[in-house]
Amino acid sequence: MGKGAEIFLNYLESAGQSWWQILPLGPTNIIFGNSPYMSFSAFGGNPLLISPDLLVEEGLLEHAELPVGKTSEYLTDYRQAALEKQTILALAYKRFHANHHYGNQLDHFTKQHPWLDDHALFLALKEKFKDLPWYEWPAEYRVRVPGTLSAASKLLADRINYYRFEQYIFFRQWNRLKKLANQKNIQIIGDLPIYVAADSVDVWANQDIFQLEPSTRKPSHIAGVPPDYFSATGQRWGNPLYRWHDPDPAVETQLLKWWEKRLRTIFSQVDAVRIDHFRGFESYWRIKADEETAINGSWVPGPGLPFFLEMEKRLGKLPIIAEDLGIITPEVEELRDALEFPGMKILLFAFDGNTDNPYLPYNHTQNCVVYTGTHDNDTVLGWYMSSEVNNATKERVRIYSNRRGSEATAISDDFIHLALSSPARLSILPMQDVLGFGNDCRMNTPSTTLNNWCWRCAPRFLSSENSADLHSRTAFFDRIAKPQTTEGNKNSTP
């Protein structure tokens, strides 16, 4: 969140861009393949994003203490990054802990973020129990016996304070970055996974709102999606499901309160939010936890319109983008449209030969967001070069782009042209496509856990020539945003 992010913001500003969409900010775990969609905390931030340089500026580190190990400018090494961050954050914490002024700030921060006590205790207990999932801890910890937790809080006080410190630093640095972005007329679109990980502080601290086995506290049923474009056996995500429509009114009260806190927290961090798997609010795919694939599941009604109306009553107008990809029914579309949330249009899905295909640019409505592709797709160039994409599809792309040649090098530019010229309210361009990169730069392949979330954009690619070209194309389609008079915009969807 330091120099690297500032370089990128400067690039976006010079390129005439006004929205930056990010992946979820939550802590990641090597056990889950470093996926930001399988975090152990729905409220916390990822300490791997903390900038050591900013810690030096604050006097919490010496420049000579910064890591000097060789890192790739193209790929993230999560294991090395975690080891280095743990080392320098431990040093920073010692200096922080010795400063009474900082200690007062930490106490104030904790009072502002009531989720933090459970977050820090959970991580301290994970250390105590050798990183076992919480549902394999001794029973008194698993079921949260008050006296046991109170004693643990005293015994593990220093480690608990360290984890509070991590979040204090993360939020300080993130708030600084967001303020800088807004000053440059750039607003940030966050990403909210609908589900949380089974081994998370959220489930451990709120067991009554999830579908768990009474004895083991493991999920009884889990989330996923049936077979679709991405996987012939569906996607078995493994996340526990919420107890929507539970006959116990206390469960509904607690569930709504938890979601209110979650939405309030993310809207304090970003200017708008893409809700991942939006269709799960209309109906969700319910799989028995002992099933090996997602094939044998069933659709179950979600909380629907009343949920969002209740959240708007508590929080005001919600600037949300609905991720409405996959198997979408008229009921899901009705829910999205009733809330006036823009949906997503993915150009990589547009060229199947069906003239009614909703992803074709001439079928886009204004109230949508168009993407060349997403983090779950191949890059445009990688897709075009793939043997899995037939020649007829590639020919349709060339005809639609009014380009009869077969050269592949311009295909990314063609898709960017189609996205910018769409009637969609907002156009989002993955950096891999802006830079014309192939499938070695793909971000994620669904239903796999290896080699995902690793791509890095080296600063040398953010050239003045590239930003000038993107600015020119953005201006041509009148997509340069007018300067805002206030920091961020909490009352309007992109």
Q: Which tokens hold the place of 427? A: 């156009």
List the one residue out of 257, 226, 230 whose CA is nearest residue 242: 257
Distance between CA atoms of 443 and 109, rounded to whole angstroms?
34
Catalytic one of 118, 202, 271, 323: 323
Largest CA distance in the chain: 73
List the one residue out of 242, 274, 266, 229 whose CA is nearest residue 446: 229
List the one residue out of 267, 163, 193, 189 whose CA is nearest residue 38: 193
Catalytic one of 228, 337, 376, 413: 376
Catalytic one of 276, 333, 337, 413: 276
Distance between CA atoms of 484 and 18, rounded to whole angstroms?
10
Instruction: Specify whether 323 is catalytic.
Output: yes
260: how many CB neighbours lie within 10 A of its CB?
15
List the one residue out of 60, 205, 232 whose CA is nearest residue 146: 205
396-405, long-range: CB within 8 Å, 24+ apart, which pairs?
Answer: 396/351, 396/353, 397/351, 400/351, 400/360
283 vs 241, 245, 262, 302, 309, CA distance in Å? 12, 12, 20, 4, 17
Q: Which tokens hold the place of 132? A: 């076992």
Q: Which tokens hold the place of 32? A: 């889950």
Helix (H, G, I), strand (E, B) or coil at 361: helix
Dihedral in degrees, nearest 10, Cα atoms 206, 208, 213, 218? -10
Cβ pair 474, 24 in contact under 8 A: no
Distance between CA atoms of 420 and 273, rounded to whole angstroms?
21
Give per-residue burial for 212-226: e unless 16+ CB within 10 Å, then b. Answer: beeeebbbbbbbbbb
Give CA angle at 251 (245, 252), nearest 5°. Answer: 55
Q: Which residues are catalytic?
A: 276, 323, 376
